[in-house]
Structure 1
Amino acid sequence: MKKLKFFIAFIVFICVSVYSQSDATGETKFNQSSLRNVSPGEITAEKNQEQFTVPADLLNRYNAAIDSRNSELKKSTSAEIEKYLQKAVFTVEPIEILNENRPNAPFINDWYGTDIMVSNTNVAYAGGFRQMDLKKGEDGWMYLAVNRRSVPGVNGQITVYSSSNGGAEWQTVLSYFSVNGYFGSLTMLVESRNSNVPDSTRIIVYSTLSASANQDNAYLICSSFRRDGSSASHQTVANPSAGNRFVYPSACSDGMFWSDLTFMHVIVREESNSGVYEAMHHFRTTNWGASHTVGTNNYNTYEDRYPAAAFSNEVGSDSIYIAVEREVSNNEREIRLFATMEVPSSNFSIRYITDAAPGTIYERPAITIQQRNFSLPQRILVTCTKNDRAVYHYSSDGGALWNIDFGLGSASMPVDFTSCSSDTSTANGRDFISAFVDLNGDSVTVRHGTLGNLGSPMYKKNGVASTGTLAPVTAIYSEGNTKYSAFAYAGFGPAGVYYNMENLITGITPVSNEVPNTFRLEQNYPNPFNPVTNIKFSVAKTGNVSLKIYDISGREVALLVNGEISSGVYNYDFNASHLSSGIYFYVLKTAEFTDTKKMVLVK
């Protein structure tokens, strides 16, 4: 009997230990095949697909060029393939779009403990919950696109902002507007045409545009411009069939692996003006938005809503994965994943992620795929809500097997919207990030970690009340191997756009206008500390200054300051909430001075 009790206690201990070290819950299922028979009726409803029109030999040479990173061969074979593809067409009168020539919106710098207001304007919401997008560019800058409303004299306006210092300060890249048209929802890409020339970075924003506020007959446009706002163009991509509209565009690219030969993709749902599903379209551009080809999936009989797209680098043909909310019945919605070649075609294969019983409602998926070489297994994260709870699902083998129903938020917190993103580097972990907003918009919670254990919830990281009608947006800002959580959200209304990030340089505060005679680094206070401590230092001469944190092994764990600072005396409030207890060293370095001091974090 004692042995039995010991065995039961041991099993309970193991289970508690497993759950305490991961996001697994009692509902979690492991290693679920994406091709499993979840619903025979659903599977038989899928229709046969059409034969691909591109010759197999040409497609094989194109795939070989991609796998070998042969730019010239990719360029020549893709040009041949384009001849076989269906061209996107635009057949209606376009609504005029003009570039903004009015002064920039005001920007308010952050004070420690408060979010940065990037824009104080109202944010659109009529076109759905995707009204903002946040990206870290290959040039190291942060970019934020916002669909604005109630702008005097115009019906619709989109503004893109940039920050060259991790989000401490923002400036307008470009605002463009339509006097007569209303923008619906948007999605953004930031790509560099030449990795050695930062100013070659271009911002590409796909959005829907309609002559009516309710987005009837909305069509798809592509806006492209440099990071300084120059060379702006606005191309109409395609329009839907009569009586229909495009909604919820979602863009991705192969830009992690290419520069000038970056190909961009956007997925968009076509529905009737009353909201009934018609088709899913995959548009691709091989010339930076000047023209597009299209593949269309209209071969299923289900309502597939809120497409979210991600690029997957694979052996042979690369793929575009599209997570959708599928209405299986009136009281059951599941998460499904379409896979289609990155070369547009009408062939979309289906993957089955969730398999809950009737009465379960999964909604509004977001997806990210960690961009890695095709020789490595592709790691996929999908976040969504399940009966108003934040959950996530992930695959570590390119989507063949799924681990489903991991807890993203607590069971007691009702959630409406989630978002997710990933970093290309696996160094030091923390390569996936997600955020969600509760139903009343009171709090934005951020998770940043690895698949299966997204780290401790950073609850209510928003400094002001968030809207409950729009999704927050996330990104990972990295300096070397140090990765920081970044997110943006719309304030209550929705009005005002706010941004915050771990260890923003805005933690630095000047404490004296006097020019010190010498450089100096003082002992942090308090020490030991948990989790915030103050570091005071003096800069005798204006110049580049770095202030870094290292662990006891000499690994850099935080970059606090890295740029030009004027002479003066400064305080830096360092928040070490993401670090473990232990001994750390902080190093102040300039062209003429270096000093190191020790501090102790005790949690």
Structure 2
Amino acid sequence: MKHFKLLAVLTAFMFTGVLSAQDNIGSTPSTNQPSQYETGRESYNESDAFYSTELEAQHKAALENGNSIEAKQIEKQMESKIPAKNIYKSKFNNNDDQQVQGSQPPFNPDWYGSDVTVYSGAIKFGDPYFRQIDMKMGEDGNMYVALNRAPVSGTNGRIDVYRSSNGGATWIYSNGVSTSTAYYGTVSLLVELRGTSPDSSRVFVFYSRSAGSNNDGATMNFASWRRDGSAWYSAEIAAPPANQEYSFTTAISDGFFWSTGTYVGVLCTESNNALTVTNNFRYYRSINWGQTWTGVTISSGYDDFYPSADLRPGASSGSDSVWIAVERRLSATQYEVRVIRTPFSPTASSNTYFVTSGGANVKYEKPALSVKQNAPTDTAIITTTKNGVAYYLPTTNGGGLWSTDFNLGSGNGNNKSFTWCNSSSRGSNSLISMWVSNDGDSINIRRGVVNFMGTTQFKRNSNTASTSVAPTCMVYSPDANTNLSAFSYAGFGPTNIYANQEALITGINQNGTSIPENFSLSQNYPNPFNPVTNIKFNLPKSGYVKLVVFDVMGREVATMLNENMNAGSYTADFDASQLSSGIYFYKLITADFTDTKKMMLVK
């Protein structure tokens, strides 16, 4: 089993913003009954697994134990039991997709009161392909943001990934994928450890790829690399039937429970080129980090749009399944939320949870799903809009019973365009939900538990958000007992990608390009201060650097810096809004130098 490694910033502050009380009035248990349009039609499909759960368990055990020869032998046994039509070998070098060297983000010089600019430039958009960015907490404890750039002359498609090792204070470029001959559609992201070292983490970006800008005939593709950008490769997984396209990629893995034994997967919509009729979902899973894939077709028999999928862990890996939240269009005036369940080990088997029953003239739209990664899982939530009002739909018994219409905020109002959600398997207040107004004015966030999703933080964004690209959010867990809210979004246009995180306490800025001769730690200025002060320090050579703050009892109250830094002169902006007045000490630690100074907070 994997021991989850968290290399991140310990923080103790809260978002600023206008707050509002909890309001869950109007929630009801789901009847889990089909609508009049679904009554009498099959809600499940039966299909045998290609190979036994025992064989899969043996394969994972061999991978986890580092026995690559045995793992390869078992892999061949597994593959021999899969019909040829369900085996997809990645087509490497099948197109001109290539890695790119991106520029570092344009950090705001004074950002702690506003959002961090991760990327400056236009973002891809085109109705209804609204998933153009994704955000994940990697298994290395770092934060990652993937974004799909708008086409420019000479580069029709380009996806970039940025990484933050200090809770979103600063971002560095990881790698990306680009092409001059094709266009990229919707994007989904995974970051998985492939061993015990954080440097073994691999980034997976899944995307649809089309010769035309309208996504017609789009294929399913991926690119992958280590978090430092090395060991890059990309490939096509599969192509759709004639006059069809793949879209709305949604990535899945069981990586929370494994390291070298992780399996990765992706699910997408198969539809007509106009994306007005959905035919099936395609699900592909790889047991060898993307070299080959087992693919199946999952058919519901309905027009199911905008799939949002996640792993639903069982009591053992052999009982894991994939849940797929969809917008089911039963008529021109009735859209409902359904959850389709299929085994994690790919088969065409599926059954359906009939989560909502809004009836005529009710439209539940664009659901987002998050399942807590417990084994077996206990909680999952779906966020969605119902006639333009944002709600969440939870289950606390692994899907046996769902509840509907938990209002995401008092004074919610209508005209909400997008929602998103995420969860953590550890700590308290481990569910996060987000919704945004139609005009992009307000991105609102709550983090808590079912029945009390936490206090609403209205208009958390400091820039107007895009009305055509959905924002994304995640629970950031710097340690086993701490959960914090983080989000990213495209600015109006759509242009630029911004990010922010609860407890963002410091900005680190380099002062010029000259290299100092000696290590030094300056006295903070101003001092005394309230609530922000600047701390300057010099690094004559590159290396691991830690900058921490202690109270008079010697307790660490903030970590401003905890990563490798290049040689140079720097200024750290420290915001002590949530600390009490008093004396504090800040300490700079490197391999060759340590110094401590005193500062005073006066409120």
Closer/same/farther in 2, CA of residues 173 and 508 from structure 1, 3 Å limit: closer
2:353 aligned counterpart, secondary structure = strand
Query: Which deviates further from its counterpart, 446-455 or 154-163?
Result: 446-455
Matched letter for residue 117 of structure 2: M
Alignment of 1:578-589 (within 5 A): 588-589=586-587
Closer/same/farther in 2, CA of residues 59 and 342 from structure 1, 3 Å limit: same
Q: CA deviation at 1:51?
A: 3.3
Structure 2 CA distance for aligned equivalents of residues 515 and 278 of structure 1: 63
For residue 420 of structure 1, what is the aligned residue in structure 2?
Answer: 421
For residue 6 of structure 2, what is the aligned residue in structure 1?
Answer: none
Does 2:455 match 1:470? no
For residue 10 of structure 1, what is the aligned residue in structure 2?
Answer: none
For residue 45 of structure 2, what is the aligned residue in structure 1?
Answer: 49
Closer/same/farther in 2, CA of residues 84 and 548 from structure 1, 3 Å limit: farther
Q: CA deviation at 1:449?
A: 2.1
Structure 1 CA distance for aligned equivalents of residues 536 and 44 of structure 2: 71
State the Cα RMSD in Å: 3.7
Q: CA deviation at 1:81?
A: 3.4
Structure 2 CA distance for aligned equivalents of residues 93 and 232 of structure 1: 11
Structure 2 CA distance for aligned equivalents of residues 106 and 538 of structure 1: 22
For residue 37 of structure 1, what is the aligned residue in structure 2?
Answer: 33
Does 2:439 match 1:437? no
Residues 134 and 189 of structure 2 are in contact (CA less than 8 Å); yes or no, is this contact kept in structure 1? yes
Matched letter for residue 143 of structure 2: M
Structure 2 CA distance for aligned equivalents of residues 189 and 203 of structure 1: 6
Structure 2 CA distance for aligned equivalents of residues 584 and 326 of structure 1: 57
Residues 515 and 568 of structure 1 are in contact (CA less than 8 Å); yes or no, is this contact kept in structure 2? no
Matched letter for residue 333 of structure 1: Y
Kindly provide the CA deviation profile for residues 384-421 of structure 1, in whole angstroms up to 9, marking residues without a partner as x.
11111111111111111112211124432521111111
Does 2:84 match 1:83? no
For residue 157 of structure 2, what is the aligned residue in structure 1?
Answer: 156
For residue 392 of structure 2, what is the aligned residue in structure 1?
Answer: 392
Q: CA deviation at 1:137?
A: 1.1
Q: CA deviation at 1:232?
A: 1.5
Residues 323 and 367 of structure 1 are in contact (CA less than 8 Å); yes or no, is this contact kept in structure 2? yes
Does 2:53 match 1:59? yes
Structure 2 CA distance for aligned equivalents of residues 510 and 263 of structure 1: 40
Closer/same/farther in 2, CA of residues 495 and 224 from structure 1, 3 Å limit: same
Query: Which deviates further from its counterpart, 319-328 or 407-416?
Result: 407-416
Structure 2 CA distance for aligned equivalents of residues 555 and 352 of structure 1: 51
Q: CA deviation at 1:568?
A: 8.3
For residue 369 of structure 1, what is the aligned residue in structure 2?
Answer: 371
For residue 483 of structure 2, what is the aligned residue in structure 1?
Answer: 483
Residues 279 and 296 of structure 1 are in contact (CA less than 8 Å); yes or no, is this contact kept in structure 2? yes
Structure 2 CA distance for aligned equivalents of residues 420 and 363 of structure 1: 14
Closer/same/farther in 2, CA of residues 508 and 229 from structure 1, 3 Å limit: closer
Structure 1 CA distance for aligned equivalents of residues 93 and 536 of structure 2: 58
For residue 338 of structure 1, what is the aligned residue in structure 2?
Answer: 340
Kindly provide the CA deviation profile for residues 512-569 of structure 1, in whole angstroms up to 9, marking residues without a partner as x.
x99988867998655xxxxxx33566869998444458899x9977544545898888
Structure 2 CA distance for aligned equivalents of residues 540 and 351 of structure 1: 59
Q: CA deviation at 1:167?
A: 2.2
Matched letter for residue 260 of structure 1: T
2:262 aligned counterpart, secondary structure = coil
Q: CA deviation at 1:109?
A: 3.6
Q: CA deviation at 1:229?
A: 1.7
Matched letter for residue 247 of structure 2: V
1:458 aligned counterpart, secondary structure = strand
Residues 508 and 573 of structure 1 are in contact (CA less than 8 Å); yes or no, is this contact kept in structure 2? no
Kindly provide the CA deviation profile for residues 244-291 of structure 1, in whole angstroms up to 9, marking residues without a partner as x.
111101001001111111101111110111321111111101111111
Closer/same/farther in 2, CA of residues 583 and 79 from structure 1, 3 Å limit: farther
TM-score scaled by structure 1? 0.82
Closer/same/farther in 2, CA of residues 308 and 167 from structure 1, 3 Å limit: same
Residues 109 and 169 of structure 1 are in contact (CA less than 8 Å); yes or no, is this contact kept in structure 2? no
Matched letter for residue 139 of structure 1: D
Structure 2 CA distance for aligned equivalents of residues 321 and 453 of structure 1: 24
Closer/same/farther in 2, CA of residues 370 and 468 from structure 1, 3 Å limit: same
Query: How many equivalent residue pairs?
Result: 559
Structure 2 CA distance for aligned equivalents of residues 240 and 59 of structure 1: 29
Higher relative contact order (CA 8 A, sep 6+): 2
Does 2:315 match 1:315? yes
Q: CA deviation at 1:237?
A: 0.7
For residue 17 of structure 1, what is the aligned residue in structure 2?
Answer: none
Closer/same/farther in 2, CA of residues 110 and 488 from structure 1, 3 Å limit: farther
Query: Which deviates further from its counterpart, 413-422 or 41-50?
Result: 41-50
Structure 1 CA distance for aligned equivalents of residues 519 and 562 of structure 2: 20
Residues 325 and 368 of structure 2 are in contact (CA less than 8 Å); yes or no, is this contact kept in structure 1? yes
For residue 503 of structure 2, what is the aligned residue in structure 1?
Answer: 503
Closer/same/farther in 2, CA of residues 412 and 597 from structure 1, 3 Å limit: same
Structure 2 CA distance for aligned equivalents of residues 179 and 148 of structure 1: 13
Structure 2 CA distance for aligned equivalents of residues 227 and 515 of structure 1: 29
Structure 2 CA distance for aligned equivalents of residues 69 and 516 of structure 1: 47
Structure 2 CA distance for aligned equivalents of residues 233 and 168 of structure 1: 29
Matched letter for residue 28 of structure 2: K
Structure 2 CA distance for aligned equivalents of residues 425 and 462 of structure 1: 27
Structure 2 CA distance for aligned equivalents of residues 101 and 520 of structure 1: 40
For residue 98 of structure 1, what is the aligned residue in structure 2?
Answer: 97
Structure 2 CA distance for aligned equivalents of residues 401 and 175 of structure 1: 41
For residue 8 of structure 1, what is the aligned residue in structure 2?
Answer: none
Closer/same/farther in 2, CA of residues 558 and 309 from structure 1, 3 Å limit: farther
TM-score scaled by structure 2? 0.82
For residue 183 of structure 2, what is the aligned residue in structure 1?
Answer: 182
Structure 2 CA distance for aligned equivalents of residues 105 and 583 of structure 1: 37
Structure 2 CA distance for aligned equivalents of residues 93 and 77 of structure 1: 24
Structure 1 CA distance for aligned equivalents of residues 549 and 271 of structure 2: 52
Closer/same/farther in 2, CA of residues 430 and 110 from structure 1, 3 Å limit: farther
Structure 1 CA distance for aligned equivalents of residues 59 and 575 of structure 2: 50
Residues 321 and 339 of structure 1 are in contact (CA less than 8 Å); yes or no, is this contact kept in structure 2? yes
**Structure 1 segments unaligned to the other structure (5+ residues):** 1-19, 527-532
Q: CA deviation at 1:169?
A: 2.3
Structure 2 CA distance for aligned equivalents of residues 75 and 486 of structure 1: 39
Residues 208 and 220 of structure 1 are in contact (CA less than 8 Å); yes or no, is this contact kept in structure 2? yes
Q: CA deviation at 1:378?
A: 2.4
Q: CA deviation at 1:62?
A: 3.8
For residue 11 of structure 2, what is the aligned residue in structure 1?
Answer: none
Query: Which deviates further from its counterpart, 406-415 or 395-404?
Result: 406-415
Closer/same/farther in 2, CA of residues 401 and 521 from structure 1, 3 Å limit: farther
Residues 110 and 168 of structure 1 are in contact (CA less than 8 Å); yes or no, is this contact kept in structure 2? no
For residue 455 of structure 1, what is the aligned residue in structure 2?
Answer: 454
Structure 2 CA distance for aligned equivalents of residues 147 and 178 of structure 1: 12
Closer/same/farther in 2, CA of residues 453 and 597 from structure 1, 3 Å limit: farther
For residue 28 of structure 1, what is the aligned residue in structure 2?
Answer: 27
Closer/same/farther in 2, CA of residues 362 and 510 from structure 1, 3 Å limit: same
Closer/same/farther in 2, CA of residues 540 and 342 from structure 1, 3 Å limit: closer
Q: CA deviation at 1:314?
A: 0.6
For residue 379 of structure 1, what is the aligned residue in structure 2?
Answer: 379
Structure 1 CA distance for aligned equivalents of residues 460 and 38 of structure 2: 41
Matched letter for residue 59 of structure 1: T
Identity, % of aligned pairs? 31
Matched letter for residue 469 of structure 2: L
Kindly provide the CA deviation profile for residues 78-101 of structure 1, in whole angstroms up to 9, marking residues without a partner as x.
653333334344899997233255
Q: CA deviation at 1:571?
A: 5.1
Closer/same/farther in 2, CA of residues 111 and 65 from structure 1, 3 Å limit: same
Matched letter for residue 329 of structure 2: E
Matched letter for residue 51 of structure 1: S
Closer/same/farther in 2, CA of residues 336 and 539 from structure 1, 3 Å limit: same
Q: CA deviation at 1:424?
A: 2.7
Residues 92 and 234 of structure 2 are in contact (CA less than 8 Å); yes or no, is this contact kept in structure 1? no
For residue 302 of structure 1, what is the aligned residue in structure 2?
Answer: 302
1:346 aligned counterpart, secondary structure = coil
Matched letter for residue 33 of structure 2: N
1:351 aligned counterpart, secondary structure = strand
Query: Which deviates further from its counterpart, 283-292 or 560-569?
Result: 560-569
Residues 50 and 347 of structure 2 are in contact (CA less than 8 Å); yes or no, is this contact kept in structure 1? no
Closer/same/farther in 2, CA of residues 471 and 296 from structure 1, 3 Å limit: same
Structure 1 CA distance for aligned equivalents of residues 72 and 407 of structure 2: 44
Q: CA deviation at 1:503?
A: 3.0
